[in-house]
Structure 1
Amino acid sequence: MIITLIILFLSAVFFMSGKVRSDLVALCALVLLIIFQILTPEEALTGFSNSVVIMMIGLFVVGGAIFQTGLAKMISSRILKFAGTNELKLFILIILVTAGIGAFVSNTGTVALMLPIVVSMAMSSNINVSRLLMPLAFASSMGGMMTLIGTPPNLVIQNALVEAGYKPLTFFSFTPVGLVSIVVGLAVLIPLSKIFLTKKTDKNTRKQKNKSLHELAGEYQISKNLWRVQVDPGSPFVGKTIQETGISKYSITILEVRRKTPNSRRFFKTTMSQEMAGASTLVQEEDILYVLGEFTVVQELVQENKLHLLDSHTPEGASQMNGEDELQFQDIGIAEILIMPDSRLVNQQVKESGFRQKFGVNILGVQRKRQYLLSELKNEKMYSGDVLLVQGSWENIARLTDDQSDLVVLGQPLTEAAKVTLNHKAPVAALIMLAMVVSMMFDFIPIAPVTAVMVAALLMVLTGCLRNVEAAYKTINWESIVLIAAMLPMSLALEKTGASDYVSQSLVNSLGAYGPYALLAGIYFTTSLMTMFISNTATAVLLAPIALHASIQLGLSPYPFLFAVTVGASMCFASPFSTPPNALVMPAGRYTFMDYIKVGLPLQVIMGIVMIFVLPLLFPF
């Protein structure tokens, strides 16, 4: 028992210092428990197969898909309409919405759903995201106190009461307690988050940030010279490749070909496929060609080849162009590349460069000494220091980095590609998310929460809400996963060695003689303290029978004491690994262990003091 407590103490010290990564500290503690034979290797590794850990992995993927499809931005824009740009209104609205969802969905699921939405809102309203994410995690736990299914400790005390022969709690027996916790949480978090959670942004980083795709397009005036041309029936272009159409005699460039997909359905927001134009691309009826060039030349092309120049308001299939002709970057992107002094491309004409043949990219423009060359590019020679704007698939643009001797890709194309949202998949992501939430809300649906999350994560990948499996893996924060998985067996070690039973029993028994309020305070803060180091569910399981027996021995109602257990276990904010939501927001908010101490510990103490006086009013002794 002594060794276990020493390992636990040392872990807490290292967590608070922040000098060693939290997941490394947790793994070291886990290994020490094995070395000292407190846990067997099988017991020590149970955390990595725990349903909570598996659920967290799935929820990371679901949250990433919600962000990647633009669904987060759509939802956040709706919420922002209510809050405007007022930071306080937005803060309160996030707390209330999160708590409302948390009443019916697990706090882990709530945070995973809200995390990308809140990040998107913070970016849109220019608010520091670190001020919002920790309160988001805390609000999910407060919302869990609103209903019977909101958090596992609620079900633990329900089970304890039923087994002891007491009247079971109803679905909304917890609601008054949840409302009080939300009010207290708002009152405490508004000032504390303002003082401690407003992280300073790095001004140098802002100055050095990469140009966005739309900034690049604007810089090279692509939108001003980009025209959409539709191939009408009877056009000589129909059935020919772009090379066979004789397009080369015009001083224009065909960038993309878009056409209706054969399996188009109204359910999706777009029915148009996007394909980069190449010499061998076959032109079909009703294809839409994205043409770059002077308007007079484009007019000549249209008139001579029975084509139709589309105005900016004509929709493509089921999608609108938002009132302007512009490139979309789902599959095809743009990037700048710099010609090196010793490059073989120096003094070569663009048409001889072989960019299309070797890398599968088109050259759209040349920047030379702050001047932009945008027309008659094929005969233009390239010189050292020229910056070329190229267009191609994201994979082909990334391949340009392999040829460092000739050129340097400016910025990070794959990073920019990851920022492009797959808006046409937003309805699919919304349906999957809704189905997951509903299956987790209602007990009559015979699907375990972890199963619902795993199925949802898998569907997000299979339906294309994430670009590929690699993108799904990148959404997972493995530091948080390892942290939780490695710390979960600590509760088993404390239970096996008798440390949990000894500490809790001693505290409760010593306070029982001082009256019901002292006993209630002892149960509450013992639960609260233990939850900082082991899971809230494990703590509730350990302390629920102790609280029940202590209240019965004193001839008091067990209800307020059992509620003290569930509230103390759920309202644990002073540690990043006490609850999965706290761990989920840690990397995104760039929090340290001390941030949780500064904000979470005062909230945890104040919440406890308030509950000691409120619980007897709601559930008399």
Structure 2
Amino acid sequence: MTYEQGFLFALLGVVFGFLIWGRIRYDLVAFVALIIAVIGGVVPVGQAFAGFGQEAVIIIALVLIVSRALTNAGAVEIVARLVISADRSLSTHIGIMAMVGAALSAVINNVAALVMLMSLDIEAAKKGKRSVYSSLMPLSFATILGGMITLIGTPPNIVVSQFRERALGAPFEMFDYTPVGLVCAVVGIAFVTLIGWRLLPTPSAEATAGAEEDDGHFVAEAIVSEDSKSIGKTQHDLMAVADEHDTTLLGLIRNGRRLPGFAANTELRAGDMLVLEGDPESIEGFIGAASLETSATQEDVGLRSKSLTLMEAIVPDNARLVGRTATDLRLRNRRGVALLGVSRQGQRFRDQVRNLVIKAGDVVLLIGPESRVNDVAEWLGVLPLAEKTHAVVQRSKALFAIGVFAAAIAASVIGLFPLAIALALVVSVYAMFNIVGPQEVYESVEWPIIVLLGSLIPLGLALESSGGTLLIAEAILSLTGSFPAWATLTLLMIVTMTLSDFLNNVATALIAAPVGLSIAQSLDVSPDPFLMAVAVAASCAFLTPIGHKNNTIIMGPGGYRFGDYWRMGLPLEAIIIAVGVPSILFFWPL
């Protein structure tokens, strides 16, 4: 083993360790690793930032902007609402939602598709008086499966395509992934619809109970103002009003400290804070009936307004809010919006809401003037749930937006423009017609993913040029021995899929694609089935809530625990391998 190989293996091992640990943002880990590789002499100084100029990076960024514009125009909403109904059986509902989610994910970012459909799924669950526990995980898995159908459906497909162009001279085209991806998606959707959701704990299980309790319920706080009619009363006195508004009184905060127990018989004073639990409308109604105030209506923070908006939003893993508190970010003083409540799988907190450290998967309740609350949500990086908070939807432009996008994709497919240019034209048209604003163009891009990709591409190239990927390929070949090529292909899929369950799928694809090529060259067979296997496996992260952002997003609203995912995810991954390998070999022969 050479110095370069040893250095890169050790560095990537540390990187993977930090990514699995998850305490430090993956983009920072990747960028620091890139700088260390440059200092160590394994990545040339002149190539240090070449990854940021790769076409794959540009395409991923443009796809995210297009997804945002289609959502703004209401195109996703139109498609979804045509088929969503609360009157269907659970299995039928899951099947229809899964098919719609997969179809949308094939042409837009699967995170955007999930967020839009998740709000509709939660709405349907409320109307049907059932828990979302059984339906959100199948929806998340379906949007992941749908991304495998086209080139732009998921970042690993773009990464593998651009690697093929660099290594073999031509990329995978828009619909090269469709035959294999469609087979995997159809079989996967059939599984989650008919069997998968039944493998989750029954409605009597603790996790399901947590999901029902967490369905729309927040822990929030209300302030006893100086002129409140509740001064001198106790929580016990207010219970009748609380019951009327379906709100639970959890305790009392005085002088910044939570009083022991429920303090139900303690007389309220001006400045006290009541800890409440309920859905947003119930909490707001109780606050008004009890003559209380929220922090957003206190004059000293400059938020008094005749029109305040409540926004429910999910906290994804790359949000600015993760690991921080509202106090840290000074939301009220600097941004004019307050954090009213937090929902976390039915948990109740001892900390004040503004001092509560937010975690990925939480659902936060923001309150503030309508003109500010959307901007603050975008700045925080949280994903709005409630349809009423999407003030930018321009439904009259939906058909125009769909037509422009379809025309650009058609132009790319027939060879008039490269995909990157076609998508750039779409973004330009959307910007000119104000379907996506100038600020949204930049805010739509997941910059941590861009930094991750731009940082890891030079490391992947260095590992390939140093012979490191060949060593990994030889190690895999040594395990299969004299087995046929399809057995080696299967093992490559299993290893890649396992890595993707714990690592970012872009990082997995960047490392696994060169390994797949080296294996194919060693076996003297076509590299295409091995590259296709990497693309499929890197996208299939179903075992954990950290393998894919969609799995993280549903964790809080669905009331899922870490160990719930493998119940449906493990057989689904086995099915994808069982179906994917024959499909790959049929459509992409060795």
Q: Same fold (TM over 0.5)?
A: yes
Aligned AA for 2:30? A
Map of 2:113 onto structure 1:
114
Q: CA-atom RMSD, angstroms?
A: 5.5
Per-residue CA deviations over 1:443-492 (Å, capped at 9, x if unaligned) read 225222223333333433332334x4334444443333333333333321
Structure 2 counterpart of 1:444, from 414, 417, 439:
414
The 1:500–1:536 alpha-carbon spacing in structure 2 relative to 1, beyond 3 Å, is: same
User: Offset of 1:39 from its aligned partner?
Assistant: 1.3
Q: Are residue 92 (structure 1) and residue 98 (structure 2) matched?
A: no
The 1:529–1:180 alpha-carbon spacing in structure 2 relative to 1, beyond 3 Å, is: closer
The 1:595–1:23 alpha-carbon spacing in structure 2 relative to 1, beyond 3 Å, is: farther
1:7-18 map, 5 Å = 7-18=11-22
Q: How many residues align?
A: 424
Q: Are residue 125 (structure 1) and residue 91 (structure 2) matched?
A: no
Q: Name the CA distance, whole Å, in 2 between partners of 1:59 and 1:173.
A: 17
User: Offset of 1:499 from its aligned partner?
Assistant: 1.0
Q: Are residue 543 (structure 1) and residue 500 (structure 2) matched?
A: no
Structure 2 counterpart of 1:571, from 534, 537, 540:
537
Q: Are residue 390 (structure 1) and residue 306 (structure 2) matched?
A: yes
1:136-215 map, 5 Å = 136-144=142-150, 151=157, 175=179, 178-180=182-184, 182-184=186-188, 186-187=190-191, 190-191=196-197, 194=200, 206=218, 208=220
Aligned AA for 1:454? A
Aligned AA for 1:143? I
User: Offset of 1:80 from its aligned partner?
Assistant: 0.5
Q: Is the 8 A contact 2:62 2:427 kept in 1?
A: yes
Q: Name the CA distance, whole Å, in 1 between partners of 2:371 and 2:403.
A: 30
| Higher Rg of the two aligned structures | 1
1:404-483 map, 5 Å = 411-416=368-373, 420-421=389-390, 425-441=394-410, 442-466=412-436, 468-483=437-452
Q: Is the 8 A contact 1:508 1:519 kept in 2?
A: yes
Q: Is the 8 A contact 1:17 1:593 kept in 2?
A: no
1:266-345 map, 5 Å = none
**For 1:208, what is the secondary structure of its paired residue?**
strand
Per-residue CA deviations over 1:128-164 (Å, capped at 9, x if unaligned) read 69625641442124424999xx95658988999999x
Q: Is the 8 A contact 2:68 2:112 kept in 1?
A: no
Q: Is the 8 A contact 2:496 2:538 kept in 1?
A: no
**Length-normalised TM-score, structure 1:** 0.53
Q: Is the 8 A contact 1:15 1:25 kept in 2?
A: yes
Larger mean CA deviation between 151-160 and 28-37 belongs to: 151-160
User: Offset of 1:112 from its aligned partner?
Assistant: 6.0
The 1:145–1:21 alpha-carbon spacing in structure 2 relative to 1, beyond 3 Å, is: closer
User: Offset of 1:495 from its aligned partner?
Assistant: 0.7
Q: Which ranges of structure 2 fall in alignment gaps of 5 or more residues? A: 126-131, 223-269, 271-287, 293-298, 310-331, 337-365, 376-387
Per-residue CA deviations over 1:203-224 (Å, capped at 9, x if unaligned) read 79635399xxxxxxxxxxxxxx
Q: Is the 8 A contact 1:70 1:422 kept in 2?
A: no
Structure 2 counterpart of 1:4, from 2, 8, 11:
8
User: Offset of 1:22 from its aligned partner?
Assistant: 2.4
User: Offset of 1:183 from its aligned partner?
Assistant: 0.7
Q: Name the CA distance, whole Å, in 1 between partners of 2:392 and 2:178.
A: 39
Q: Is the 8 A contact 1:480 1:584 kept in 2?
A: no
Structure 2 counterpart of 1:486, from 442, 451, 455:
455
Map of 2:51 onto structure 1:
47
User: Offset of 1:98 from its aligned partner?
Assistant: 4.7
Q: Is the 8 A contact 2:148 2:181 kept in 1?
A: no
Q: Is the 8 A contact 2:11 2:33 kept in 1?
A: yes
**For 2:394, what is the secondary structure of its paired residue?**
helix
**Length-normalised TM-score, structure 2:** 0.55
Q: Is the 8 A contact 2:137 2:551 kept in 1?
A: no
Per-residue CA deviations over 1:600-619 (Å, capped at 9, x if unaligned) read 67644543345456666788
Q: Name the CA distance, whole Å, in 1 between partners of 2:586 and 2:63.
A: 38
**For 1:571, what is the secondary structure of its paired residue?**
helix
The 1:437–1:46 alpha-carbon spacing in structure 2 relative to 1, beyond 3 Å, is: farther
Q: Name the CA distance, whole Å, in 2 between partners of 1:545 and 1:410.
A: 54
Larger mean CA deviation between 181-190 and 437-446 belongs to: 181-190
User: Offset of 1:194 from its aligned partner?
Assistant: 4.6
The 1:70–1:421 alpha-carbon spacing in structure 2 relative to 1, beyond 3 Å, is: farther
Q: Name the CA distance, whole Å, in 1 between partners of 2:428 and 2:67.
A: 12
Q: Name the CA distance, whole Å, in 1 between partners of 2:98 and 2:367.
A: 41
Q: Name the CA distance, whole Å, in 2 between partners of 1:505 and 1:134.
A: 36
User: Offset of 1:566 from its aligned partner?
Assistant: 1.1
Q: Name the CA distance, whole Å, in 2 between partners of 1:114 and 1:571.
A: 21
Q: Name the CA distance, whole Å, in 1 between partners of 2:578 and 2:492.
A: 12
Q: Which ranges of structure 1 fall in alignment gaps of 5 or more residues? A: 211-340, 342-366, 372-382, 394-399, 553-557
Q: Name the CA distance, whole Å, in 2 between partners of 1:56 and 1:520.
A: 27
The 1:529–1:490 alpha-carbon spacing in structure 2 relative to 1, beyond 3 Å, is: farther
User: Offset of 1:37 from its aligned partner?
Assistant: 1.9
User: Offset of 1:500 from its aligned partner?
Assistant: 0.7
Q: Is the 8 A contact 2:408 2:425 kept in 1?
A: no
1:540-619 map, 5 Å = 540=513, 543-544=516-517, 546-547=519-520, 550=523, 562-573=528-539, 585=550, 588-589=553-554, 598=566, 603-612=572-581
Q: Is the 8 A contact 1:71 1:423 kept in 2?
A: no
**For 2:409, what is the secondary structure of its paired residue?**
helix
**For 1:411, what is the secondary structure of its paired residue?**
strand
Q: Is the 8 A contact 1:51 1:450 kept in 2?
A: yes
Aligned AA for 2:82? R
Per-residue CA deviations over 1:386-421 (Å, capped at 9, x if unaligned) read x9863699xxxxxx98999xxxx9734435456554
Q: Is the 8 A contact 1:15 1:22 kept in 2?
A: yes
The 1:159–1:27 alpha-carbon spacing in structure 2 relative to 1, beyond 3 Å, is: closer
The 1:92–1:77 alpha-carbon spacing in structure 2 relative to 1, beyond 3 Å, is: same
Q: Name the CA distance, whole Å, in 1 between partners of 2:492 and 2:289.
A: 73
Map of 2:62 onto structure 1:
58
